[in-house]
């Protein structure tokens, strides 16, 4: 029975990992499709598509999936017509939240997001009520680093990055959004492993919340982020 129990646990963990990977793939495919539809299927002339494809490869997405998503975006293959929207809202304690969505059914998505927020002491708000609190930036995540820490910091600074933060597995680097591709290329040439590069929303100031309230807010943000139509979610909470 012990062996059976261990196998069940392994199966459960693998199932959870596969489900998580599937969600990541779904979000990347939507991003590739929308990027190709808006600005064409040529990665050289479409920076957004190029970023999405690079992120797909960083997550080990098969090339066939990438090509199919691009062709659906350009209309070469039939596919779902996705649209993108940005919603603004507030969570517990008045924490500001921005939700970027890619969906084929706006009414369904906004209804489900409103339900999630209302159920967790939050609410959707009027357009413009939250966006002004954030600044658009480029974000690069590098992981699996063996280099000397001083050398890493020196390379990040030399790349032209605006700011950076060390994490358990690497570094989060913030850049001017217009320099995102250039800085990514610079770091790749130095053999850094790029986990992702994207446009992010950085709060101009962060809101301090008690430890007790942080738990409920983080749970809400995770619920939102796990919604299949949510591409990215941002908030101004300061995690301590």
Class of domain 83-240: alpha beta
State residue 40 phi and psi, 5-degree precision.
Answer: 90, 165
Across 142-156, 191-205, 210-224, least confident range: 142-156
User: For 2-74, which CATH superfamily applies?
Assistant: Integrase, N-terminal zinc-binding domain (1.10.10.200)
What is the per-residue pLDDT for 169? 83
Query: For the whole prediction, is pTM greater than 0.85?
Result: no
Give the model's confidence band at 21: pLDDT under 50 very low, under 70 low, under 90 confident, else very high. low
Q: How long is the chain?
A: 240
Q: Residues with Cβ < 8 Å from 170, sequence gap 6 or more?
A: 141, 142, 143, 144, 145, 193, 195
Contacts 24+ apart (CB under 8 A), 48-56: 50/181, 51/180, 51/181, 51/197, 51/198, 52/28, 54/184, 54/194, 54/197, 55/28, 55/31, 55/196, 55/197, 55/198, 56/28, 56/29, 56/32
Question: What is the overall mean pLDDT for the chain?
Answer: 88
For the chain, which residues make up each domain, given as ranges? 2-74, 83-240
Question: Which tokens hold the place of 184?
Answer: 């990514």
- Most confident residue range from 109-118, 167-176, 229-238: 109-118
What is the per-residue pLDDT for 122? 95
What is the per-residue pLDDT for 144? 67
CA distances from 21 to 14, 27, 124, 224 (A): 10, 10, 29, 17
Question: Which tokens hold the place of 101?
Answer: 């969505």
The answer, yes or no, to whether residue 41 has pLDDT greater than 90, is: yes
pLDDT in tens, 81-133: 899 999 999 999 999 999 999 999 999 999 999 999 999 999 999 999 999 99
Task: Give 16 or 220, the one with higher predicted confidence.
Answer: 220
């Amino acid at each position: 029975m012990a062996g059976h129990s261990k196998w069940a646990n392994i199966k459960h963990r693998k199932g959870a990992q596969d489900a998580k990977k599937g969600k990541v793939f779904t979000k990347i495919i939507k991003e590739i499709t929308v990027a190709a539809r808006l600005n064409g299927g040529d990665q050289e002339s479409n920076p957004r598509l190029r970023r999405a494809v690079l992120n797909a490869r960083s997550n080990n997405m098969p090339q066939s999936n990438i090509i199919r998503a691009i062709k659906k975006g350009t209309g070469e293959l039939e596919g779902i017509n996705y649209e993108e929207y940005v919603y603004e809202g507030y969570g517990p304690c008045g924490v500001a939240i921005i939700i970027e969505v890619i969906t084929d059914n706006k009414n369904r998505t906004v209804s489900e997001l409103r339900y999630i927020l209302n159920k967790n002491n939050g609410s959707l708000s009027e357009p413009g009520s939250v966006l002004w609190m954030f600044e658009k930036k480029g974000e690069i995540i590098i992981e699996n680093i063996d280099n000397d820490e001083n050398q890493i910091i020196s390379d990040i600074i030399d790349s032209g990055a605006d700011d950076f933060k060390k994490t358990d597995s690497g570094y989060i680097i913030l850049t001017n959004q217009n320099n995102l591709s250039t800085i990514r290329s610079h770091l790749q040439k130095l053999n850094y492993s790029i986990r992702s590069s994207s446009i992010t929303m950085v709060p101009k100031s962060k809101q301090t919340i008690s430890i007790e309230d942080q738990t409920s807010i983080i749970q809400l943000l995770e619920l939102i982020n796990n919604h299949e139509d949510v591409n990215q979610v941002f908030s101004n909470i300061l995690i301590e």
